[in-house]
Structures are given as C-alpha cells and as structure tokens.
A and B are shown apart, each in its own frame.
Chain A
C-alpha cells in the first residue's frame, strides 16, 4: 500500500485550519478559582451601597435584516423580589433574557447579573442563574428524575446532596409520583413544573422565567402562579419574570418594567404606575346610542371629568375620583336626556399604563408586532 505526501499535506492543513479557529478561551476550565475571589468582592458591595441583582445599561442588539430588538434597554432589579418585565410580543423581552442568561451577546451596552458581567464572565453568570425558557427545555427521552439529576450534576452537585435536592424538588412540584416516567409522557403543566424545577436545582441567586404560563390551561396557570409566588418568599432568590399577560405581572411582581420597541418605557411598582395615571376610568353603558357631541357637551363642564368619548352605546370618561364623580355624571346625563343602563368605575390597569407610555394599547401592539 503506497503512502502519499498529498494525504499528509491535507491533514496538516486541516489541523492548522482548525487550530486557527479554535480559541482555548472558549473552553471553560481553570478560571473558577479566580471568579470566587471576585464574587466575594462584589457581593459585599462597594461602600456598603446596595448592589442590584440585575443591572443593565443601554443594551443594544440588532438582528440581521436591521431589526433592532433592543434599543437602549436599561434596567435595575433589587435582590430578593419578583420583577415583571412586561411587554407585547416583539417588544424585546426574550432578547433581553437571552443576553442576561449568556445565550446571546449584545452589540453594545453592559449587563451585570448577580454582580457578574454577562459578556466578560459568562461562566460565573451561568453558575448563579437558573433559566426557565419560554419553550420547554425538558429532555423528553429522559425521566423527570434523570432530567433533574443531569442538570444538578452539570452544576456540580454530587451524591447524597444531589439525591436529596432532586427528591425535594420532585416533592415540591408534585412530580414525585411521575418521577420515573419519561418526560415525554408528561402533561404540559407537568413539563412546565419540571422546567421550573430544572431552573432551581442548584439554588441559583437569580431565576429567569420567560413567559412561564404561555400555553397553559387556566388551571395549570393558577398552579404555576402559586409556585412562582412562593419563589421569592421561600427561596429568597431574585426572579425576573417576562410576560405579556398584564394580569400576571400585576399579580406576581413587586416591581414591573414595561417594554416597548426594545426599551423600558415605564418602571415601578404596579400600584405606583397605576396611580401615576390621572384618575379612574368610568365606563357607562347607555340605553341607546347617543351622539358624541351631545354627551361631551353635557359632561365636560363637570369638575374633574375628562377624556369623554362615546362609541355607540358605550361611553368612556376619566375622573380624578371615580366614586364621587358618578352622581353628577348621572345627573348631567339625565338632564341631557341620555338614559343610562349601567355604570362601572375601574381603577387604572397596567393596560392603561402601557397605553399612556407606549401610545397604543397592548392589543394593538400585539397585532402590529414590534414595528
């Protein structure tokens, strides 16, 4: 069998080529020790100032085709709370999460998670975060227990500690009975629970929940809400929850940020955001369709009543104090000869907040996509 020089040449070229593209920094190995030192420094905080669990400054991310998914995204999340990142589909929530959990990289801007820079120390970030992705990350060809065990092992848990933690989570998420069944036989709600358990195995400091209840039936959604509500209380971890359900953010989060077109347009506790809006919404159902002009003329003279609009039989107005404004409104309508069928006074919702800050309703934004 002859041996030819060409064959050797080809292989040498292949090796050189690969060596050229192979960057040893990409292989996570030794630098763990160094990171531990840095961790101590950051956790203590400089000058005793409070450090944030998540600190994001001016992130920009553009996808091919000039789609600017993040456009100066800035955010600070205090430790130990559930923080709701709210926005319609396409607002940039998932892109933000993907950068914060090191899956993707920003074009510019900085982000610290638990004090660690996501682009400079992705390994340290990965060790401290848990992620529950929008789509499930469960391995359907493994059992619930095997899924959890592997995840724990990848995070360095071993032996008895691992077994105890896995049992604890299976119990807590009511999966103990099905622990040895293949995950592909799980219901949607069970898979979601397993996803959350996978995110918690290693007791992360920060948990990312990306649209945790999308696609769940109402019953499973209610159960998931209970599980999420317990997280910040019992585990003391910081949860960044993205959702496009206003109700979900309102109910679970201590603090919310509203995203639109790749940036935060409003931030604060749900209560504060809502109280910033001027007054309550008054919705009146008329007995029969009335003329906009007539009604407006009758109501806009009243003190503290504004933004009057009539559409068929539906009348909408805004009042500084909903309850006290109702009697004069009814009286004025009666005087104008417009009979009323029903009245409702509503406190502002996050939808109203969104409307004010993004200039369109949530539903419109969902329909129109990001642009």
Chain B
C-alpha cells in the first residue's frame, strides 16, 4: 500500500515536470518523424520484393518506427536518473522512507505515458502519410501496449546502468552501442523473409522483434491473437525482470557511496 502511494506521488512528480515543458516530447520525435517521412519515401518500392505481403511500405514502417521510438525513449531514460543523482534529489529520496520500487516505478510509469503520447503523435503522422492501420481500436491499443512494454524494460535497464556507473558518458555510450543495432536486428525496417539467415536468427531473441511482431500482427484485419498475446506475455516478463534488476541496482549504488 505504501509502495503504491509512493508510486503515485513519484509518478505525479515526473509528469508535472513534463507538463511544464511539453515541447520536450516534440523534441523527442524529431528523429522518428525523419525516419517516417524520408525513409518511408526513399524505400517506397521495397515492398515490391517478394517477402512483403502486399501492403504499402509506410503501412509496414509506421508501427516499426513507433516501436523503435519507444525503444529509444526507454534506452535513454537512465540519463534522467543521472541528472537526479547529480542534483542530489536521488540521495534525498534514498534517505527518506520512499519505497525503492516506487523510485524506479515512478520513472517507468512516466516513461510509459511519454511513450503513449509519442506513439499517438506518430500514428497521426503515419496516417497523414498514407499508412493504413487495420485491426481497429484493439490493433492500435496493442501497438501502444507494444511500445510501452518495450520502453519500460529498456528504461529499467538504462536506469540500472545509470545507478551502477553514475556517468552520463557510460549511458550515452551504451545507448549508442545497443539501440541502433537492436533496431536493425529486428523487422522494424525490413521484412523477416528478406533478411540474411544469421540476422533472422538473431531477431528471434530480440525483444524489439517481439514488440514489432505483436503490433504488426494486431494491426492486420484478421489477426492471430494467440501469437500477439504470446509476444505480449514475453514482453511483460522481460519488463518485470528488468524492473527487478533496476530496483536491485540501488544496492550497488549505495554500496559505492
């Protein structure tokens, strides 16, 4: 109960700071907008290759870029933790009875809200660019959930790293090193059937793939919901495991003080 209340207070704090600078969200989707507009145009005809299943490239790309944006939002989330450590806010919370779970949870809950807002904006842009998203409200809801369920675990891992290394440079390094490769080793830009064999093997173990697959499947007019749910379940477990790891990272942080 205490943990839940603390989670509420700490989430509220994050969202309030965000509401004070709403342009921050616009800033975070500059890159995905470029991917959608330019990539979507440049690779328009790639869908003529066998392996794509008759949809337009922008319809294929939009959910992919949305999931990718969620991945990046999560991966960079640890930067905020480092700022909080440097400001001394983290230590103030740690010497108060604030629940450790809520300290991480508050960040992740706010991240989830940011991810949903980003996704909605990008869905609007995708539709404007001619994307067709079948699957109705449930399909779109699954797309949003897929984004959240990818942002949260990567956010947790990013926070765990931030608490462990306490250096902006390390979080920047790790994010740059991991996030783009994880994107290219997933079906965000390219249909699986057209990938070289080794990449196709790697994509199976990539949570980005689970999220993109779930979203694309749910957006089909006749979705295979069992497959969607299986992916979502995987993402939920991955998220829980990562959040537990991040909560544990507080101990590493405190030991190093």
Contacts and interface: CB of A to CB of B under 8 A. Distances in A.
Interface of A: 1, 3-4, 6-8, 10-12, 14-15, 17-19, 21-23, 26-29, 98, 101-105, 123, 126-127, 129, 131, 133, 135-142, 146, 150-151, 153-156, 182, 198
Contacts of B213: 1
Interface residues of B, number: 47
B204 A139 contact: no
A7 B88 contact: no
Given A18-B244, A137-B88, A142-B17, A28 B97 contact: yes
Given A127-B97, A137-B92, A153-B9, A29 B87 contact: no
Contacts of A182: 20
Nearest to A19: B244
Contact of B100 (A26, A104, A151): A26
Interface in B1-47: 2-3, 5-6, 9-10, 13, 16-17, 20
A136 B87 CA distance: 7
Interface in B155-192: none
A150 B13 contact: yes
B241 A18 contact: yes
B257 A1 contact: no
A105 B254 contact: yes
B218 to A, nearest CB: 11
Given A7-B234, A123-B97, A23 B248 contact: yes
Contacts of B254: 103-105
Interface of B: 2-3, 5-6, 9-10, 13, 16-17, 20, 87-89, 91-101, 204-205, 210, 213, 217, 224, 227, 230, 234, 237-238, 240-242, 244-245, 247-248, 250-251, 254-255, 257
B93 A141 contact: no
Given A136-B88, A141-B20, A21 B244 contact: yes
A101 B240 CA distance: 30
Nearest to B217: A1
A140 B9 contact: no
Contacts of A10: 205
B257 A6 contact: no
Interface centre among A19, A102, A153 (most CB of B within 10 A): A153
Given A14-B237, A146-B16, 20 more contacts: A3-B230, A6-B204, A14-B242, A15-B240, A18-B240, A19-B241, A22-B247, A26-B251, A28-B100, A103-B95, A104-B257, A105-B255, A123-B97, A126-B95, A131-B95, A136-B87, A137-B92, A142-B17, A151-B92, A154-B6
B13 A27 contact: no
B101 A1 contact: no
B3 to A, nearest CB: 6
Contact of B88 (A101, A135, A142): A135
B205 A6 contact: yes
Contacts of A11: 234, 237-238, 241
B96 A151 contact: yes
Contacts of B95: 101-103, 126, 129, 131
Given A18-B244, A19-B244, A154-B6, A3 B92 contact: no
Nearest to B223: A1
Contacts of A142: 13, 16-17
A97 to B, nearest CB: 10
Contacts of A1: 213, 217, 224, 227
Interface centre among A4, A27, A150 (most CB of B within 10 A): A150
Contacts of B16: 142, 146
